[in-house]
């Protein structure tokens, strides 16, 4: 099978870059995949294809850019020229831009593949019904939020034109089945990017590192983390370093520069900027706690699975989708109120003051991550593609079993 994967890819700064990297890394090892056509965004640096294991051929096609109005046409043209046997889209609603038109046009691509008759799976990391448009940095205007919801519902229907739409949280399956009467929605777990050997759970000498990882400025805000650590410092003698590992979200350029200036008087804050894939294990290994300073959630958390695979204790906001994910996939951590630095300080302190408890959390999260390795997730997608191809060859549409007992009329 010649498989096209449409995704952002390192060293891109666009969202879902890390997930795109690990999709390619594990699909290239599947026996059924003879070639991967990586349809990805343009970057000045070369794409990171330095894999250790031998795998299938990878053909890179850099043909789109964040917020470009021509993405629909350039990606569609590339698919036509490369003639893949199947296409996998790695999507969320602001995948192709944070401007309305580029973002919307990109989400028409699964429908275009439907017209071409190409077996298509869209991995949808979030659904608009579960996105807080204000916290996600899209709009604060109530009337615009209603307009976005209407437009989002229409775009969701175009994504649902895929042969299969994969989501990572069971609640999303229920919503799409009920609201859109969909029969092609599959629950496919996020998966752990890596399953390294079990760590020793020891920490390096020096200050304990309190780390947040990702793209910051929209729903990931580091102010609460910095203020929480200051609260701990003021009431204890803990030696703590704050590590902000990552870059600005494409939606909020300049956010971290503003944070550096605002908190320049605070000691022991380290900004790593972009973290290359080979440096990710070190960042996690040296951290005592991985903190998730989210004001809202927009789907499954890749960072949670990364933290688990490196055996890290985590401090998590008590928010809907993230709480569901933690319960469904067996992770454990300390929860805090997302609008309270005091609550986050208590959560971090609870982990740090009891080393046995920190290690217990890390061991549990390592076990949860290893139960769903990315290699198994790739196999699940290959099996779905086989089922789609069989259905097409027999002349019928693939319909998946409903999760909900009865769809609403």
Lookup result for tokens 């803990």: 238
* C-beta separation of 79 from 116 below 8 A: yes
Q: Which two tokens stand for residue 376?
A: 């198994």
* Residue among 166, 164, 162 at smallest CA distance from 189: 166
d(CA 177, CA 183): 7
Output the pLDDT for position 408. Answer: 39
Lookup result for tokens 């949860």: 368
Q: What is the pLDDT along the chain (409 residues), one digit of tens a residue?
A: 999 999 999 999 888 898 999 999 999 999 999 999 999 999 999 999 989 889 999 999 999 999 999 999 999 999 999 999 999 999 988 789 878 889 889 999 999 999 999 999 999 988 876 555 455 555 566 666 566 667 778 889 999 999 999 998 888 898 999 999 999 999 998 887 877 789 989 999 999 999 999 999 988 999 999 999 999 999 999 999 999 999 998 878 999 999 999 999 999 999 999 998 889 999 999 999 999 998 876 666 778 888 999 999 999 998 877 777 787 888 999 999 999 999 999 999 999 999 999 999 999 999 988 888 889 999 999 999 999 999 988 887 787 876 543 433 3
d(CA 143, CA 149): 10
Map residue 167 onto helix, strand or coil: strand
Q: List domains and CATH numbers for the chain.
A: 2-191+374-394 (3.40.50.2000), 208-370 (3.40.50.2000)
Output the pLDDT for position 398. Answer: 80
d(CA 278, CA 290): 18
Output the pLDDT for position 405. Answer: 38
Distance from chain centroid for Cα 401: 26
Paired sense of beta strands 287-291 and 313-317, if any? parallel
Q: What's phi and psi for 180, nearest 5 deg?
A: -110, 0
- Surface-to-core class of residue 53, CB atoms within 10 Å of its CB (0-12 exposed, 13-18 middle, 19+ buried): exposed
Q: Is the dihedral of CA 20, 78, 115, 112 positive or negative?
A: positive
Entry pTM: 0.74
Distance from chain centroid for Cα 259: 24
Output the pLDDT for position 177. Answer: 93
Q: Is the dihedral of CA 245, 249, 252, 254 positive or negative?
A: positive
């Amino acid at each position: 099978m010649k498989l096209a994967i449409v995704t952002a890819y390192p060293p891109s700064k666009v969202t879902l870059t890390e997930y795109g990297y690990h999709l390619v890394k594990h699909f290239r090892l599947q026996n059924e995949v003879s070639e991967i056509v990586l349809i990805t965004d343009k970057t000045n640096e070369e794409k990171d294809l330095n894999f250790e294991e031998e795998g299938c051929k990878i053909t890179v096609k850099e043909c789109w850019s964040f917020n470009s109005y021509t993405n629909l046409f350039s990606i569609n043209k590339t698919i036509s020229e490369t003639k893949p046997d199947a296409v996998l889209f790695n999507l969320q609603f602001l995948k192709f831009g944070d401007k309305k038109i580029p973002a919307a046009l990109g989400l028409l691509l699964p429908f275009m593949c439907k017209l071409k008759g190409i077996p298509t799976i869209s991995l949808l990391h979030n659904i608009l019904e579960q996105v807080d448009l204000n916290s996600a940095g899209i709009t604060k205007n109530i009337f615009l939020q209603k307009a976005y919801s209407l437009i989002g519902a229409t775009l969701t229907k175009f994504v649902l034109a895929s042969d299969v739409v994969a989501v990572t949280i069971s609640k999303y399956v229920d919503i799409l089945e009920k609201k859109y009467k969909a029969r092609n929605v599959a629950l496919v777990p996020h998966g752990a990017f890596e399953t390294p050997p079990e760590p020793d759970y020891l920490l390096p000498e020096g200050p304990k590192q309190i780390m947040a990882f990702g793209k910051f400025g929209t729903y990931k805000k580091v102010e609460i983390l910095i203020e929480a650590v200051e609260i701990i410092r003021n009431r204890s003698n803990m030696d703590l370093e704050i590590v902000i590992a990552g870059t600005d979200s494409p939606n909020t350029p300049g956010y971290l520069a503003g944070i550096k200036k605002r908190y320049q008087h605070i000691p022991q804050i380290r900004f790593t900027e972009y973290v290359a894939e080979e440096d990710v294990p070190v960042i996690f290994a040296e951290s005592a706690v991985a903190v998730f300073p989210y004001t809202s959630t927009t789907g499954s958390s890749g960072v949670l699975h990364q933290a688990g695979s490196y055996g890290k204790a985590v401090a998590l906001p008590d928010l809907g989708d993230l709480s569901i994910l933690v319960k469904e996939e067996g992770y454990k951590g300390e929860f805090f109120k997302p609008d309270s630095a005091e609550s986050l300080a208590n959560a971090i302190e609870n982990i740090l003051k009891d080393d046995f408890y920190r290690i217990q959390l890390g061991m549990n999260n390592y076990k949860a991550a290893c139960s769903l390795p990315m290699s198994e997730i790739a196999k699940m997608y290959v099996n779905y593609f086989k089922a789609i191809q069989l259905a097409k060859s027999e002349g019928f549409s693939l319909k998946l079993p409903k999760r909900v007992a009865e769809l609403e009329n």
